Chain A
């Protein structure tokens, strides 16, 4: 018994030691797999510091931790529609523009959004569009053209692919898709329209296999699921996975003609950041064209940085699903945040959708 305990205490010693006696550490709180490893390594060499990463898979996860008071992070990467709220809640510090000269690389269309006028708190990082992804071989066999939200809401299409469809497990995204299908804006607040959207969803639900926020990439690439409601960069990676697994089919993007949700993710600095100096260096570093292109080349994310274009793989640049043309771009909308009354109603609707 005594020997057992002494063995245990030997193992526990390292845990008791203070973490990283080095001072030069940048704490990055980012989405899962949303930065290329080589980019991080390059930054660490350039600044002579270390980067520790914490991850989240949904904006709400990030918000929940911040609301509970978590600190110790330097850079956060939320989606831009959350930035207004985060600033009002006092969780962000302004960015010193003099320290981030590379900001000039960002395309004007992505600057000065209504969420952060003048880019006081945030700097664009990457963007993604929520759309449809499908197994092109299966859709060809079934004679289905996938170009509209009808693919996940219309029973005439759904009955051919019953049990082989997944949708996003996100109330904002799924309701947005339903609203678009019905011809409304994704930011429509009319409770009557919300009920319509709810009914559309409930009617289509029996045909869907599951609500999947993640993991549908694998299922798509494995050929178990044939159609997904998902993010453009995820669908791109599903295609890569299918090719890597030497499947006989490819995974294609489909931009619904009614329009879709654009999510612009941005870098912000946390109010109590331990190292704002390193944070600014990181932001400027990521605004450099080459560094910014790494992520796009890795996962097929949209890139708001004009200096990055020359470094991006041509086949990705050519994909209108990732770099939409003017006409498509005009149909994209960014989600705005709800107030607490609206959130409560949405909550009830969503619980009903999930429970029935």
Chain B
């Protein structure tokens, strides 16, 4: 496989663009200053403070759990939706799938709150997860559908000719081929969920706290480096979790596994 130098340089520039701000986030988590504005000196104090801050840690944990839940459920539902949209000329589903992405978060948040109250659902972490799943499905569906478009249908036909039932054909042929799309969608869903603020604000129950909600409370005064510390930590923990998950199911991101 030839790798052109321009491609390499362009990709490197993009990578720098991606990681520049991140380097600042991580670096400033060691900043010996209350504010996130100028570098003053090095300290581990913020990490120490973080580990004593039960509210912050609980919020981070909640975000992680909700993120994983939303990611898994929306991946399953989104893959089904993406497949259905690709296979059949549907009218309602594409609109229902796309609209949550388009609709302003405030509207969705307010309407879900009204709805949850009307059906007497206890607000809490579960209501947040339900809301997140609703807007994540679309992201997975679109990616899966794009992956399916241009997939070699003859492979599926061959499987059927060899005696596979439709569910078998889907599970043994189609699914492995679209798996990179599913995983890509799952990663996006996770990212969306752990970062969501507006919808979470409205659908959270009294005392339910996620990390974005907690961090937003600090924006008023100053976003102390404790936030940088928890962000760095969250990234590390998520990375470790995902790497472990990949060891458990190798080749998920590549076709055929």
Contact = CB atoms under 8 A, between A and B. Distances in A.
Contacts, number: 129
Contact of A244 (B34, B124, B213, B217): B34
Contact of B221 (A32, A68, A71, A224): A32
Interface string B30-61: 00011111101000000000000000000000
Interface stretch (B11-19, B95-103, B199-207, B227-235): B199-207
B213 to A, nearest CB: 8
B207 A65 contact: no
Contacts of A64: 110, 202
B216 interface: yes
A18 B206 CA distance: 14
Interface residues of A, number: 47
Contact of A241 (B123, B222, B249): B222
Given A57-B220, A70-B123, A8 B68 contact: yes
A11 B221 contact: no
Contacts of B221: 32-33, 214, 217-218, 234, 237, 299
Contacts of A57: 216-217, 219-220
B248 A70 contact: no
A221 interface: yes
For A19, A52, A68, A245, the residue with the greatest tally of chain B CB atoms inside 10 Å of its CB is A68
Interface in B64-110: 64-66, 68-69, 72, 110
A215 interface: yes
Nearest to A34: B220
A64 B110 CA distance: 8
Contacts of B206: 27, 29, 52, 54, 70-73
B110 A72 contact: no
A14 B65 contact: yes
B205 A222 contact: no
A71 B114 CA distance: 11
Interface string B135-152: 000000000000000000
A32 B220 contact: yes
A217 B223 CA distance: 10
Interface string A1-44: 10111011001101100011000010101011100000000000
Given A15-B126, A52-B207, A234-B221, 9 more contacts: A19-B124, A32-B221, A68-B114, A70-B206, A72-B123, A72-B206, A215-B220, A218-B37, A224-B37
Interface of A: 1, 3-5, 7-8, 11-12, 14-15, 19-20, 25, 27, 29, 31-33, 52-55, 57, 61, 64-65, 68-73, 214-215, 217-219, 221-222, 224, 234, 237, 241, 244-246, 299
9 contacts: A3-B248, A15-B62, A33-B217, A57-B216, A65-B113, A68-B114, A68-B202, A218-B35, A241-B222
